[in-house]
Amino acid sequence: MKKKIHFQCITECSSICCGGATIITLAEIGKLYKFFPITAGFRKVYPFNAIHENYIQDITFKYKNFYIIGDFIAGNRLRKKCRFLKNSLCLIHGELKPFQCKVIPFSVTFPEEYQDIVIREKRKAAFRDCKGFQENFPIIWNGEFTGSELKSNFYKLKKELSAQIDLMEKIFADIDKSPFFYQFILSKDGLLEIPLINKFIEEICFRASIENPEDFIKRQRAMFITELTTEGYKNSLFTEALNVLDNIRI
Over residues 92-120, the pLDDT tens digits come to: 888 899 999 999 999 999 999 999 999 99
Report the predicted TM-score, pTM, of the whole model to 2 decimal places. Answer: 0.93
Cα angle at 136 between 133 and 138, to 5 degrees?
A: 75
Per-residue pLDDT of 174-197, as tens digits, reads 998 888 899 999 998 889 999 999
Q: Is the pLDDT of residue 146 over 80?
A: yes
Cα angle at 90 between 86 and 94, to 5 degrees?
A: 145
* Residue 8: Cβ within 10 Å count: 12
Per-residue pLDDT of 35-54, as tens digits, reads 999 999 999 999 999 999 99
Bridge-based pairing of strands 21-24 and 66-75 is antiparallel
Side chain identity, residue 226: T
Res 142: pLDDT: 96
User: Which has more confidence, 129 or 158?
Assistant: 158
Q: Assign 87 a pLDDT band (cuts: 50, 70, 90).
A: confident
Q: Name the percent of the chain lying above pLDDT 70.
A: 99
If we measure between CA atoms, which residue out of 18, 159, 39, 193 comes closest to residue 101? 18
Res 18: pLDDT: 86
Lowest mean pLDDT segment, chosen from 56-60, 75-79, 107-111, 219-223: 75-79
Res 49: pLDDT: 95
Res 84: pLDDT: 86
Please enumerate in sequence order all residues whose Cβ is within 8 A of that of 58, keeping only pairs 6 or more positions apart, or say none.
158, 162
Residue 98: DSSP 8-state: -
Residue 232: DSSP 8-state: T
Q: Assign 83 a pLDDT band (cuts: 50, 70, 90).
A: confident
**Mean of per-residue pLDDT scores for the chain:** 92
